[in-house]
A and B are shown apart, each in its own frame.
Chain A
Amino acid sequence: DTGVSQNPRHKITKRGQNVTFRCDPISEHNRLYWYRQTLGQGPEFLTYFQNEAQLEKSRLLSDRFSAERPKGSFSTLEIQRTEQGDSAMYLCASRALAGTQETQYFGPGTRLLVL
Chain B
Amino acid sequence: AQSVTQPDIHITVSEGASLELRCNYSYGATPYLFWYVQSPGQGLQLLLKYFSGDTLVQGIKGFEAEFKRSQSSFNLRKPSVHWSDAAEYFCAWMRSNDYKLSFGAGTTVTVRA
**A residues apposed to B, CB below 8 Å:** 4, 6, 31, 33, 35, 40-45, 48, 55-56, 91, 93, 95, 100-109, 111
Contacts and interface: CB of A to CB of B under 8 A. Distances in A.
B76 interface: no
B29 to A, nearest CB: 13
Contacts of A44: 103
B87 to A, nearest CB: 14
A65 B102 CA distance: 20
Interface string B16-44: 00000000000000001000100001111
B106 to A, nearest CB: 5
A104 B41 CA distance: 19
14 contacts: A4-B43, A31-B99, A43-B103, A45-B101, A91-B43, A93-B101, A100-B96, A102-B99, A103-B46, A104-B46, A104-B94, A104-B99, A108-B41, A108-B43
Contacts of A56: 98, 100
B81 interface: no
**Leading 8 A-B pairs by shortest Cβ distance:** A42-B103, A106-B43, A106-B44, A108-B43, A42-B90, A42-B106, A43-B103, A109-B43
